[in-house]
Amino acid sequence: MIKVVKFGGSSLASATQFAKVGNIIRADESRKYVVPSAPGKRNSKDTKVTDMLYQCYALAEEDKDFHIQLKKIKERYDSIINGLALKLSLEEEFKVIETNFKNKAGKDYAASRGEYLNGIVMANYLGYEFIDSAEVIFFDENGNFMPEKTDEVLSARLQKTERAVIPGFYGATEEGKVVTFSRGGSDITGSIVAKAVRADLYENWTDVSGFLVADPRIIDDPKTIKVITYRELRELSYMGATVLHEDAIFPVRKEGIPINIRNTNAPEDEGTLIVESTCRQPEYTITGVAGKKGFVAINVDKDMMNSEIGFCRKVLQAFEEHGISIEHMPSGIDTMTVFVHQEEFEGKEQQVLSSIHKLADPDTIDLESDLALIAVVGRGMRSTRGTAGRIFSALAHSNVNVKMIDQGSSELNIIIGVKNSDFEKAVKAIYDIFVETQI
């Protein structure tokens, strides 16, 4: 069995955390390939190493003295090395970084050094081979990830390596220029490595014991989701539920490799298993509930709209012309409603409305602002009668006025629109009816 294990920044923030990670890896022989992030915060007032590197490089870019900041970064690594009693010096590495900062090697290069250095420390600590991601993960000259070439080179390299540490977050162009994924990109690296070695499991270790049914900032001590499908995860991630970088799903999904979200500080917890499909019945009717605030609904009315070919396309063209992305679009016989981010829309409001009038000639356009969208997601909803009715009932009991409700044809999710001010109340009501009371 082969497992790829990725550890987040909070899991590697100090020597104490490193020791926990070491114990986890050594406890299972099949944990052969390790993907580390840069050291995260040791406490709430601390700064992540990646942020320290950005600040340090900003000084270098302005030709200001950055040596004090670089020294502080070196001290973070030295405290980990000394705490683990390793015979390792990063002196030469920091000399190279100093030279490259002076030569303006770029922000991506600067940010990537956190993972690069942590990879060297991790490899030394475990006695694994260190593989620089810049040699095996490729981007084109426009900064786009090259999956085919990466898989070919990385697979060949790892076939010859029984145990290795591959730093997360970055790769390089074929000319050797370092390029990073977006923040949280170490999740993607772990997924790419899992695909390359055709792993049996990709373990993603973080500071929570898996995905939660609801946001812990709204619900006190919400339940953990034991098994979730990729499709359910996409729906919840899209609506703001974040534990895993959503782009990390695609490389392993193609290969049918499950992802296990685990907690470094509670390794005995099973966490959440993310799979392509499962016959295991979910514990509750819903898998999760998530949402976002700050939407505006543009209601476009026109008599006999349903018989006018191309009407919806003309309306959507108005948004496209002004660079505004559509979040959701329920429709009726003579109406269609377009939900967009209010912040994005406000500055271009009158231009968009004018374009809709010109392009589609509607009877009326009506706006409703300060709305929130909530997604109730779950494969269990397909086989359960009355799910929408229970949602309406729970929201009515909590005095929440429903502005919109829309169920996808897959029966995997129900989207509900409410006022921003009712958002938390609505999430609590839905969680309570499906998880706490389980009527």
The pLDDT, as a whole number, for residue 249 is 81
pLDDT at 437 over 50: yes
| Residue 297, pLDDT above cutoff 70 | yes
The band of 230, judged by pLDDT with boundaries at 50, 70 and 90, is confident
Percent of the chain with pLDDT over 70: 97
SS3 404: strand
Q: Which of 53-67, 170-184, 321-335 has the highest mean pLDDT?
A: 53-67
Using alpha carbons, select from 193, 192, 129, 199 the residue that is nearest to residue 165.
129
CA distances from 8 to 123, 171, 263 (A): 16, 18, 10
Residue from 372, 369, 374, 426 nearest 396 by CA: 426
Structure-model confidence comparison of residues 13 and 248, the more confident one: 13
Show the 3-state SS of the chain.
CCEEEEECHHHHCCHHHHHHHHHHHHCCCCEEEEEECCCCCCCCCCCCHHHHHHHHHHHHHCCCCCHHHHHHHHHHHHHHHHHCCCCCCCHHHHHHHHHHHHCCCCHHHHHHHHHHHHHHHHHHHHCCEECCHHHCCEECCCCCECHHHHHHHHHHHHHCCCCEECCCCEEEECCCCEEECCCCCHHHHHHHHHHHCCCCEEEEEECCCCCECCCCCCCCCCCECCEEEHHHHHHHHHCCCCCCCHHHHHHHHHHCCCEEEEECCCCCCCCEEEECCCCCCCCCCCCEEEEEEEEEEEEEECCCHHHCCCHHHHHHHHHHHCCCCCCECCECCCEEEEEEEHHHHHCCHHHHHHHHHHHHCCCEEEEEEEEEEEEEECHHHCCCCCHHHHHHHHHHHCCCCCCEEEECCCCCEEEEEEEHHHHHHHHHHHHHHHHHCCC
Q: Are 430 and 397 in contact (CB under 8 A)?
A: no
Does residue 384 carry a pLDDT above 90?
no
Enumerate domains of the chain plus CATH numbers: 3-207 (3.40.1160.10), 288-436 (3.30.2130.10)
pTM, rounded to two decimals: 0.84
Does the pLDDT of residue 127 top 90, yes or no? yes
Strand-pair partners of 179:
171
Tokens of residue 368, six digits? 């409703």
Q: What is the 3-state secondary structure (H, E, C) of 355-381?
A: HHHHHHCCCEEEEEEEEEEEEEECHHH
pLDDT at 283: 82
What is the C-alpha separation between 139 and 175, in angstroms, rounded?
10
User: How many residues make up the chain in this entry?
Assistant: 439
Contacts 24+ apart (CB under 8 A), 143-148: 143/179, 145/171, 145/181, 147/192, 147/251
Decide if 109 contacts 176 (C-beta within 8 A).
no
Give me the pLDDT at residue 410, please: 63
Q: Give the confidence band of 438 by pLDDT, cuts at 50, 70, 90.
A: low
The pair phi, psi for residue 46, each rounded to 5°, is -80, 170
Q: What is the pLDDT of residue 439?
A: 47
* Model pLDDT, residue 409: 61
As given in the structure block, the two tokens for residue 423 are: 């958002």
End-to-end CA distance of the chain: 42
* pLDDT for residue 245: 72
The 10s digit of each residue's pLDDT in 194-216 is: 999 999 999 999 888 888 899 88
Position 250 scores a pLDDT of 83
pLDDT in tens, 25-40: 999 999 999 999 999 9
Number of helices and strands in the chain (H, E): 14, 16
The pLDDT tens digits of the residues spanning 91-123 come to 999 999 999 999 999 999 999 999 999 999 999
Residue 300 has pLDDT above 90, yes or no: yes
Please give the Cα distance from 178 to 132 (Å, whole number): 11
Instruction: Express each pLDDT in 143-161 by its tens digit.
Output: 999 999 999 999 999 999 9
Q: pLDDT at residue 371 above 80?
A: yes
Average pLDDT in the chain: 92
Radius of gyration of the chain (CA): 25
